[in-house]
Homo-oligomer: A and B are copies of this chain.
């Protein structure tokens, strides 16, 4: 098989450790920005931000589309579209169980985004 140049898989959004130092500590390289920006973009819509929160804060760690949809004054297809956006941004996972589809948050990438934004009092490696 060829190199499968997925081009941007340089950064593993599934890794457990933060992929990169805080944005305020060292300049984010162009490639990293290209990978992470879509995740922020996905969170850049009020509907998706609420969906993300509803999923991430759900009781069993997962939420059914059938519970998500009625929380908004939007059509089913529209909610489905937003969920797809979150999925493609790597923020959530979907699983079908029988008639229903359940969505589950991916804590790793959330952690990475949080780490990127973090502005620690910098017990900085003064090295």
Contacts and interface: CB of A to CB of B under 8 A. Distances in A.
Q: What secondary structure prevails in chain A residues at the interface with B?
A: helix
Contacts of A25: 57
Contact of A44 (B38, B47, B50): B38
Contacts of A115: 114
A28 B44 contact: no
Interface of A: 23-28, 30, 33-34, 36-38, 40-50, 52-54, 56-57, 105, 107, 110-111, 113-115, 117-119
Given A27-B54, A34-B46, 19 more contacts: A23-B53, A24-B105, A24-B107, A26-B57, A27-B57, A28-B49, A33-B50, A33-B53, A36-B49, A37-B44, A37-B48, A38-B44, A40-B40, A40-B49, A41-B44, A56-B119, A111-B119, A114-B118, A117-B117
